[in-house]
Amino acid sequence: MEEFALSHISTGTIVARNQDHNVYQLDPKHGQGTASVHAVMPGVEVISLNFQTSRYIPTIHSKRNILELNHCKEGRAECKMNDGCLQYIGEGDLFMNTMSNHSQCIELPLGYYKGINITIDLEKFAGHLSEYLPDFPIDVPEIAHRFFLNDACFFIQAKEEIQHIFCGMYSVPIEARTTYFRLKVLEILIYLYYFDVVSEKQKTIYARQRVDIIKQIKKKMIQNLEQRFTIEELAQQYCISPTVLKTTFKGVYGVSIASYMKEYRIRQAASMLHKTQKSIGDIALAVGYKSQSKFGAAFKEIYEMSPLEYRSKH
């Protein structure tokens, strides 16, 4: 899986188009994914993202006075920002930035991502906002200034209010999306207008060098599934403290090393059950389980059926 840019690129092609809605599909050789772009108001686009890939290249706008809002429903995204920081968006998070500090490449550490991206041209939209909210004194550029007063981007970590705003945007019928998205953008702006910026704790920012080490460790583990590495020996081999290893791994991948590797092993086993004729015992050994009963219990925990039932069904 390679990379995907949202529009005007060779790896994505338009598969549907109408007056206010375009759907881009990822070239199959780069993975699987679609980006549905909706023009909902002057200067405002809502993009529904659904990817099965390791990275994509976002559209880079030439104008810098554009506000971006990114909501993650499923998966995880690593954004390499212009200011040198690495930011991680997890499920339920809302990440805000402007084009003066955008990400030129977005990595998907879990290999999949589903989310909503909203872009607002602050100059173009400001002149039209009163048409939609005539009795509400929202100054969108002022909202953006308030959120980016101390930094070039802002995190609102997963919370019930964010879930309430965005949940319907993933399930609304396609024929109602433009109108529904328009209402939701206005709701988001009202929410941000009243949001207490000072009280929101910002996420940890990780140095690229440390993240690179964590990715090397993850690569070593998934390439040697039959082995069981301890945190202590990995930390010693890569000259990193066990505590830093554990906390940074969770920061990058969203879960502990044990949880990540357990699910990865079982998903690889499921693939082998589907694509090969290997015995269940051999598959268990191949993914690091010496005990077939422990393998069966772990498999059932994730797939809610035994390995034998999975093979019969698929």
Q: Per-residue pLDDT tens for 258-272? A: 999 999 999 999 999
Q: Is 35 a residue whose pLDDT tops 60?
A: yes
Burial class (CB in 10 A: 0-12, 13-18, 19+), 176: exposed
Model confidence at 128, pLDDT cuts 50, 70, 90, reads: confident
**Structural contact between residues 309 and 273, judged by C-beta atoms closer than 8 angstroms:** no
**Structural contact between residues 293 and 287, judged by C-beta atoms closer than 8 angstroms:** no
| pLDDT (mean) for 67-89 | 88
b/e 130-161 (16+ beta carbons within 10 angstroms → b): eebeeeeebebeebbeebbeeeebbbbeeeee
Q: Is 8 a residue whose pLDDT tops 50?
A: no
Q: What's the pLDDT at 28?
A: 56
Q: Which stretch of 20-34, 173-187, 243-257, 289-303 has the lowest confidence by average pLDDT?
A: 20-34
Q: What's the pLDDT at 80?
A: 83
Q: What's the pLDDT at 27?
A: 64
Q: Is 63 a residue whose pLDDT tops 80?
A: no
Report CA dihedral (48, 11, 20, 181) to the nearest 10 degrees: 10
SS3 content of the chain, % helix, strand, coil (to 5): 45, 25, 30
Q: What's the pLDDT at 3?
A: 39
Phi, psi of 96 (to 5 degrees): -120, 140
Q: What's the pLDDT at 137?
A: 81
Q: What's the pLDDT at 138?
A: 86
pLDDT digits (tens, 9 = 90+) for 106-119: 899 998 999 999 99
Q: What's the pLDDT at 121?
A: 92
**Structural contact between residues 9 and 34, judged by C-beta atoms closer than 8 angstroms:** no
Per DSSP, the three-state class of 191 is: helix
Q: What's the pLDDT at 15?
A: 53
Angstrom distance (rounded) from CA 287 to CA 270: 10
Q: Is 19 a residue whose pLDDT tops 70?
A: no
Angstrom distance (rounded) from CA 291 to CA 281: 8
Average pLDDT of the chain is 88
Q: What's the pLDDT at 2?
A: 38
Tokens at residue 190, please?
Answer: 């009202």
Q: Is 219 a residue whose pLDDT tops 90?
A: yes
- Chain mean position to CA 144: 22
Q: What's the pLDDT at 105?
A: 81
pLDDT digits (tens, 9 = 90+) for 186-216: 999 999 999 999 999 887 778 888 999 999 9
Per DSSP, the three-state class of 304 is: coil
Residue 86, CA distances (Å) to 4, 155, 200, 238 in order:
19, 13, 19, 21
> Considering the chain, what percentage of its residues have pLDDT values greater than 90?
63
* 149 vs 292, more confident: 292
Nearest by Cα to 227 from 295, 289, 298, 281: 289
Model confidence at 30, pLDDT cuts 50, 70, 90, reads: low
Burial class (CB in 10 A: 0-12, 13-18, 19+), 220: middle
Q: Is 29 a residue whose pLDDT tops 70?
A: no
| pLDDT (mean) for 223-231 | 95
| pLDDT (mean) for 130-156 | 87
Angstrom distance (rounded) from CA 185 to CA 180: 9
